[in-house]
Amino acid sequence: MTGKFIVFDGLDGTGKTTFIKMLSEYLESKGFKVSVTAEPTKGPSGVLIREILGGAKKASQEELAALFLADRIAHNSELDELINEGNIILCDRYYYSSFAYQADSDTMGWIMDMNLNCPKIRVPDLALLFDSPPELCLERINKGRMGQPLEIFENLKSLNAIREKFALIEKILNESGRNENIVRIDSAPKLEVVFEEILKAVNSLLGI
């Protein structure tokens, strides 16, 4: 079968990494080939992005958005090969994060345009947008980091603003007529309840 590209996106602390692992194990048990990937990648541009997000290096909003675009184009070269081999790709973050984290009212149009209209950037077959109250997200982030430094966006003020932008992005894309196949996932309930919602969307996509 032709592979599929499934994106997990949303606020930090919504459980994306946990659910990717659970879904990977579920799909493999059904006989699917699964490949897990993430943005930023482990390539040169991805390494630089992580240094900026960690506060080790400085970059303007526009520079960071452009770095993500370059990293995403390189990432898509790998995605094409994996999909042609029949893999179900589970990707932790995609261009939705660029719109929510790097864009403001002045740059949103530019950042969306350069990603959505780039011929080298694939549209996901399914985009799961995870949402939880920012207070819960921050609690999970602090618990998971075990005293390690937080990234520049991992504070309550930023998480509240980013949550609002994710909602705006979903509205813009749904009203644009693009076939993004976005499904919002409330990740505040218990793990098994959230995973059932994920399985509904994924099983529908794969016809299982």
Strand 88-92 relative to strand 34-38: parallel, antiparallel, unpaired?
Answer: parallel
Rounded to whole angstroms, the Cα distance separating 49 from 44 reads 9
Rounded to whole angstroms, the Cα distance separating 120 from 76 reads 7
Rounded to whole angstroms, the Cα distance separating 156 from 73 reads 31
Percent of the chain with pLDDT over 90: 74
Query: What is the pLDDT confidence band of residue 151, given thresholds at 50, 70 and 90?
Result: low
pLDDT at 152: 58
CB of 92 within 8 A of CB of 37? yes
Overall pTM > 0.85: yes
Rounded to whole angstroms, the Cα distance separating 192 from 203 reads 16
Query: What is the pLDDT confidence band of residue 144, given thresholds at 50, 70 and 90?
Result: low
What mean pLDDT comes out for the span 137-148?
Answer: 75
What mean pLDDT comes out for the span 189-207?
Answer: 97
What mean pLDDT comes out for the span 179-184?
Answer: 92
Query: What is the pLDDT confidence band of residue 138, given thresholds at 50, 70 and 90?
Result: confident
pLDDT at 194: 97
Distance of CA 67 to the CA centre of its chain: 16
What mean pLDDT comes out for the span 67-74?
Answer: 96
Q: Which residues contact 149 (CB under 8 A, 6 or more apart)?
A: 54, 55
Q: Which CATH superfamily is domain 4-206 in?
A: P-loop containing nucleotide triphosphate hydrolases (3.40.50.300)
Any idea which of 79-83, 87-91, 97-101, 175-179 has the lowest mean pLDDT? Answer: 175-179
* Greatest mean pLDDT range, 24-33, 49-58, 96-105: 24-33
Rounded to whole angstroms, the Cα distance separating 111 from 42 reads 22
Q: What is the pLDDT of residues 93-111, one digit of tens each?
A: 999 999 998 888 888 999 9
CB of 35 within 8 A of CB of 82? yes
What mean pLDDT comes out for the span 164-188?
Answer: 93
Query: What is the pLDDT confidence band of residue 145, given thresholds at 50, 70 and 90?
Result: low
